[in-house]
Amino acid sequence: MGHYKANLRDIEFNLFEVFGRGEVFGQGPFADLDTETAREMLKEMARLAENEIAESFTDADRNPPVYDPVTQEVTMPESFKKSFDAYRESGFWNIDVPAELGGTVAPASFRWAMNEMILGANPAVAMFAASYSFAKLMHLYGNEDQKKLAKWIIEKGWHCTMVLTEPDAGSDVGAGRTKAIDNGDGTWRIEGVKRFITSAESDMVDNVVHFVLARPEGAGAGTKGLSLFVLSKYDVDLETGELGERNGVYVTNVEKKMGLKVSTTCELTFGGERPAVGTLFGDVHDGIAQMFHVIENARMLVGTKAIATLSTGYLNALEYAKARVQGADLTQMTDKSAPRVTITHHPDVRRSLMLQKAYAEGLRALVLFTATQQDAVEMGVFEAGTEKLERGTHGEIASRVNDLLLPIVKGLGSERAWVLLGSESLQTLGGSGFLQEYPIEQYVRDAKIDTLYEGTTAIQGMDFFFRKIIKDQAESLGLIAGQIQEVAKNAGTHGGALDREKELLGEGLDSVQGILGTMVDSLMKSDPRAEGGDVRNLYKVGQNTTRFLLGAGDLVVGWLLLRQAEVALDALAGTVSEKDKDFYTGKVAAARFYARQVLPRLAAERAMAEATDNDLMDVPESAF
């Protein structure tokens, strides 16, 4: 058995007891997947993740992929190949494949529950296997030839990549200079260099398909001038799937990284010995909108990866704490003859463990709640036969709520997981946590990247405020706030057991709304056309976008934990096994702890937001 510890009980609790996914399985587009089958698949995925997939986690970190600059090829660790093959042989990737291509249509909530376990056990396996979701995208939006290519991606298991970043542009995607030249025969020649490209090379497959943002000659500047092109390492006979000539796209470097070493992060050069030739995706010049289908899925994956790592980090820390005997109970510390106790008896260790538990389980609920919005979108799409849902339909509303939540999943999930893994999970083990004998030091190294790629936390905060709230006129936010308010005001249930926690939730909502109000006020005062308007007021907004994102995320997690606690109290009012009694008791304890120890911090965040001025922006650069 490997390092990974799946929390299958909590995954099922969220899916079936909190979010009622039993009502979705076997219905509508998901008619071929019933609840019993889904539970068996979850159980088998937990077993596979804890064993075959997790087995190579440590070895692949210590013996990372080897890049040969002469052949421009990569040799993967044999141990990792076995883990990757075990996942492919399991057939579980089938749930990411359209029915028309032989897949099993499954709710997004179920897909992300399954993905959590892969991402926690060995995240690079899931990242290399993301090709199936790329193929789904190509099947939905590609031209006829690209739809044929999608079929071969699935059948052959080829890697697929999202190719955005350039060395000089970084996060400013619109500054990209990679260009596309029309060959006049339906193909395009791509020229340029991209970097930080995940899964661009390995010896586990014989072809790689790249989705590349490039600027056609004569196109305008910025993101609006970008188009999306598809090209592969080798040409493909679309009728037989056979590989042909080598295409002119080359891996010219593989980065040496702090963590997540087995995931190849590559520099790609287009052109050189031979031209890099591809086709326009879907025959339309709509690159950034098309790529956002990939980006949004990637952001969900990154957030889920971070949260999955925090969960197994907590469970490893808990296991150690229950076994580690050290010191006497605090109430007997002056008695030198007092018996030694396990460190779970020490108050600060308990505080640390409960904080880890509350965030690990609350963030899991955040991922799966977000995925239930995707369920509604998918059901709406299937019912309407199109993705162009009319404004106001259930599917369209869910789509907008999903858009609102994605930066929270990615931003809050990655930030809280990275910090808690280092400051609490590793700390629980004391000096032993710093050793490679335990997996948590690798969790810390592997998790840091989650705050950086697919848009840093700062970018998520900007997106959350400007696009997901201001552009949306806060309608989606209002829907979530209304649900939070409903729980906060629902006092007196369960004998008043959660009344104080609900009061704190309401106060937290007021604090987050206060931060938003302060930011909106600064935004309005930044309009130079308004009386007394000063564009520099935008700096005040910019100083608070990350604070607002994380504060709103902490509030949503608190709300979801209280929802879980109410379900748990209902269960405890009936007859349950001793094991379930412990589980539900833990749910109530986590919600209470979080409400009392985390939500009050939001008041301080509001005070800091309201105190924001532009003195910081006036400090000369030389003074830093």
Tens digit of pLDDT for each residue in 146-168?
Answer: 999 999 999 999 999 999 999 98
DSSP letter for 193, please: E
Give the C-alpha separation, 149 to 153, whole Å.
6
- How much is the CA Rg of the chain, to the nearest whole Å? 25
Structure tokens at 287: 């690159």
Structure tokens at 528: 């130079």
* pLDDT tops 80 at residue 121: yes
Residue pair 350/344 in contact by the 8 Å Cβ criterion: yes
Residue tagged 């460190």 (tokens): 343
* pLDDT tops 60 at residue 68: yes
Give the C-alpha separation, 358 to 362, whole Å.
6
* pLDDT tops 50 at residue 390: no
Confidence of residue 389 (pLDDT cuts 50, 70, 90): very low
State pLDDT tens for residues 166-197.
998 778 888 889 999 999 999 999 999 999 99
Stronger pLDDT, 384 or 328, i.e. the higher one: 328
Residue tagged 């390492």 (tokens): 233
Report, at the CATH architecture level, how domain 158-285 is classified: Beta Barrel (2.40)
* pLDDT tops 80 at residue 393: no
Structure tokens at 442: 């690798």
State pLDDT tens for residues 40-57.
999 999 999 999 999 999
Q: Which residues contact 360 (CB under 8 A, 6 or more apart)?
A: 7, 307, 310, 311, 313, 314
* CA 488 vs CA 91, 509, 598, 603: distances in Å: 43, 9, 16, 16
Quote the mean pLDDT of the chain.
95
State pLDDT tens for residues 519-565.
999 999 999 988 889 999 999 999 999 999 999 999 999 999 999 99
Whether the full predicted model's pTM is greater than 0.85, yes or no, is yes
367-371, 423-427, 530-534, 600-604: range with lowest mean pLDDT: 530-534
Q: What are phi and psi of 194, to 5 degrees?
A: -120, 155
Residue tagged 């959660």 (tokens): 498
Give the residue among 224, 415, 194 at the shortest CA–CA distance from 303. 415
Mean pLDDT of 335-343: 95
Mean pLDDT of 217-230: 94
Catalytic positions: 454
Give the residue among 283, 262, 351, 289 at the shortest CA–CA distance from 82. 262
* pLDDT tops 70 at residue 387: no
Confidence of residue 386 (pLDDT cuts 50, 70, 90): very low
Mean pLDDT of 486-501: 95
Helices 440-448 and 394-420 cross at an angle (nearest 10°) of: 130
β partners of residue 228: 213
Mean pLDDT of 584-599: 98
Structure tokens at 294: 């990939």
Give the C-alpha separation, 160 to 294, whole Å.
11
- For 279, the 3-state DSSP assignment is strand
Give the residue among 275, 270, 72, 290 at the shortest CA–CA distance from 166. 270
Give the C-alpha separation, 489 to 507, whole Å.
11
* CA 375 vs CA 105, 109, 133, 267, 395: distances in Å: 11, 7, 16, 36, 9
- For 134, the 3-state DSSP assignment is helix
* pLDDT tops 70 at residue 383: no
User: Can you give the residue ranges of every domain in the chain?
Assistant: 8-138, 158-285, 475-613
Give the C-alpha separation, 189 to 194, whole Å.
15
At 226, the amino acid letter reads L
Residue pair 353/428 in contact by the 8 Å Cβ criterion: yes
Give the residue among 178, 255, 175 at the shortest CA–CA distance from 223. 175
Give the residue among 54, 43, 39 at the shortest CA–CA distance from 5. 54
pLDDT on residue 412: 98
* pLDDT tops 50 at residue 391: no
Give the C-alpha separation, 270 to 273, whole Å.
10
Provide CATH code, domain 8-138.
Answer: 1.10.540
Give the C-alpha separation, 572 to 589, whole Å.
13
* pLDDT tops 90 at residue 2: no
* pLDDT tops 70 at residue 297: yes
Q: How many CB atoms lie within 10 A of CB 347?
A: 9
Give the C-alpha separation, 8 to 42, whole Å.
7
pLDDT on residue 388: 42
Helix segments in 525-577, DSSP class H: 537-542, 545-572
Handedness of CA 208, 209, 211, 212 (dihedral sign): positive
Mean pLDDT of 373-380: 89
Confidence of residue 384 (pLDDT cuts 50, 70, 90): very low
